[in-house]
Chains A and B, each alone.
Chain A
Amino acid sequence: MSETVISVRNLTKRFGDFTAVNNISFDVYRGEIFGFLGANGAGKTTAMRMLCGLSYPTSGSGTVAGFNVMREGEMIKRHIGYMSQRFSLYNTLTVGEKIKLFAGIYGLSKQVTAKRSEELLARLKFSSERDTLVKALPLGWKQKLAFAFAGIHRPEIIFLDEPTGGVDPVTRRQFWEMIYEAAEGGTTIFVTTHYMDEPEYCSRVSIIVDGEVRALDTPTRLKQQFNAVSMDEVFRMLARDAQRGE
């Protein structure tokens, strides 16, 4: 648990006069499930975009998977996986074509693609669905697929942007099992969420309010520190005096 995969110091992002992310610093270790908690507009997405190499920080420094966030966005992109809150699948493709597409985008060779594709379908018990159009699948399956696609090139870190939106509790629970297994395999998971039961599953949680990290620790210790019974309560205490509205 000591190897650092994400290390960020004084990262700041300004849009004109508005400081979306203000001076945040933290480290994420290999194999961790790192929760990133915040109300809408608190700056989570902006922070995450900087970590994914999608936007450059105004100031500060940091590395993701060993690459500089200020300069090496393109290299970062090769070493991370990303799943957005809408699962973002192409509905008109079949499961099999979709695997090939992702493998192609990440430049995997034909042999590797074929192997990964078999593995993935077998693990998900999806072998019979290879030629099914993605839009015909139930939401929970789509979600699992999206997660599997995010990991098709075996990235070091997988970023999940509110991955469980709109999914029922049982499916959410299953999804978190997948996340656990990936983390145990040494993949670092960086997850944003606003479901308040989910932070309890994370190794460590950072709570971001008004673009600043207000708290960062394991869920257990955060609860002790704030003398609360649940993460929900911790979050409420911190977010109470937020300046930015929804």
Chain B
Amino acid sequence: MPCQWMKFFVCWPAMRKEENKVMRNNLFALVKKESLHILRDKRTMLIVILILVVLIVLFRFAITTEVNNVNVALVATDRTNGVNDAVNRIAHNDYFTFCGYINQDEIDQQLRSGKVSAVIVFAPDFDRRMEQINAGLPSTPIIQLIVDASNVNSAGAATAYMQEILLGTESQQAMFETRMLFNPQMKSAYNFVPGIMGLIFILVCAMMTSVSIVREKEVGTMEVLLVSPMRPTKVFFAKMIPYFVISCVVLIIILLLSYYLLHVPMSGGVWGIFSMSLLYVLLSLSLGLLVSIVVKTQVAALLLSGMVMMLPMLLLSGMLFPIENFPKFFEVLSNVVPARWYIEGIRKMMIQGSPFVAVWKEFTILLGMTVLFFGMSLLKFNDKLE
């Protein structure tokens, strides 16, 4: 054994010179390593896929701002034709479940127990006063809606629906004609898909990249890479490439799911959505890079990319709450949240069907941010190396 080793090392000097000339392929070797690492780290991969699927399914079936299955009870002393007509309309509507007639004194108890979330009370002489109204005569209210408003959003939406349904065929219709453009059925999926996209890429790119770079710092493998003739910038490119590829796959999955499962229109053209998303992926990667350069531990990387980046993103991007409703300060603050611009742009292209040209402003802002973050991380990175 010892003499074997000797031979192994003795022949080194002679072979050194010629071989050190060959310095190619090294980026590819690292990319391959990173990909293998990601593929073998089944847990991480699983988490990403799971998050993606769970988010979409959640937003598809559970978290909706649409009003579905609202239990409605009726109070009507006289079941006249007009009342029956209204009841039919409620009962045949998908959004409402008709729970039968109750008495005046049961209203409070029914609402309190949660058996119903809305009660419609018809005036005793409903038909007669309806005719009065139709004839243009003044009248006191003839229908009372009592709604459980413990959930403000659904109460508001339910009220609006009920008013529309109950008065739908009557003369009031002439007063307004409402048309819901781009999303006539008011599907909330339309609203959330761009939001999920904004979220998931930050998650995959920024979070995973930063954690994986910082992990190498922690384990010490980064040191080994930096002592190698590999240029440091190349080391980081090698890190980014596999995550970029993953993001592309994720993007395709999201687009397919939203088109076939959620029936999001994408009328603005898939290529525009695609290019905008790729830009956003690059932006997230740069953010991840920046995070990984600033912090030293995986926990810190997680906290920074998870809490510091994701929370404001969720709250300020306009994904959950409309930016127009923000106090001035937060409205201004939301301008620096990249996801805001991305979501806005995607929404325009996906839902409104605007062509790519229409989102040039959002695209330019995102491009500027990408250049800024990427430049910053390169600068900061070279700083560290002195």
Q: Which residues of A contact B (CB under 8 A)?
A: 52-56, 74, 77-80, 82-90, 92-93, 97, 100-101, 103-109, 112, 119-120, 123, 133, 151, 153-156, 159, 177-178, 181-182, 184-187
B271 close to A (CB within 8 Å): no
Contacts A185-B9, A186-B10; is A101 near B221 (CB within 8 Å)? no
B20 close to A (CB within 8 Å): yes
Q: In this complex, what residue of A is CB-closest to B10?
A: A185
* 5 smallest beta-carbon distances between A and B, as pairs: A104-B29, A185-B9, A107-B23, A181-B5, A88-B220
B224 touches which of A88, A108, A155 (Cβ 8 Å): A88
Point out the residues of chain B lying under 8 angstroms from A181, CB to CB. 2, 5-6, 8-9
Q: Are B229 and A106 in contact (CB under 8 A)?
A: yes
Point out the residues of chain B lying under 8 angstroms from A123, CB to CB. 4-5, 8
Q: Give the CA-CA distance A110 to B15 in the complex, in Å.
A: 15
Q: In this complex, what residue of B is CB-closest to A81?
A: B227
Q: Which residues of B contact A (CB under 8 A)?
A: 2, 4-6, 8-13, 15-16, 19-20, 22-26, 28-30, 32-33, 36-37, 40-41, 219-221, 223-231, 385-386
What number of residue pairs across chains A and B have CB atoms under 8 A from each other?
131
Q: Give the CA-CA distance A40 to B6 in the complex, in Å.
A: 33
**B34: min CB distance to chain A, Å:** 10
Q: In this complex, what residue of B is CB-closest to A146?
A: B224
**B16: min CB distance to chain A, Å:** 5
Q: In this complex, what residue of A is CB-closest to B218?
A: A86
Q: List 5 A-B contacts (CB under 8 A).
A: A88-B223, A106-B26, A151-B9, A154-B15, A186-B9
Q: Are A185 and B6 in contact (CB under 8 A)?
A: yes
Point out the residues of chain B lying under 8 angstroms from A52, CB to CB. 227
Q: Are B33 and A107 in contact (CB under 8 A)?
A: no
Q: Are A186 and B5 in contact (CB under 8 A)?
A: no
B36 touches which of A97, A119, A156 (Cβ 8 Å): A97
Q: In this complex, what residue of B is CB-closest to A178?
A: B5
Q: Give the CA-CA distance A127 to B23 in the complex, in Å.
A: 27
Q: Are A78 and B230 in contact (CB under 8 A)?
A: no
Q: Give the CA-CA distance A244 to B68 in the complex, in Å.
A: 71
Point out the residues of chain B lying under 8 angstroms from A159, CB to CB. 227
Known contacts A105-B30, A120-B8, then 6 further A-B pairs from the complex at CB < 8 Å, ordered by chain A residue: A90-B221, A104-B26, A104-B28, A107-B24, A109-B22, A185-B8
A104 touches which of B25, B219, B221 (Cβ 8 Å): B25
**A176: min CB distance to chain B, Å:** 12
Contacts A55-B386, A119-B8, A186-B9; is A89 near B36 (CB within 8 Å)? no
Q: In this complex, what residue of B is CB-closest to A104?
A: B29
Q: In this complex, what residue of B is CB-closest to A186?
A: B13
Contacts A54-B226, A86-B219, A88-B221; is A108 near B8 (CB within 8 Å)? no
Q: Are B41 and A92 in contact (CB under 8 A)?
A: yes
Point out the residues of chain A lying under 8 angstroms from B15, CB to CB. 154
**A177: min CB distance to chain B, Å:** 7
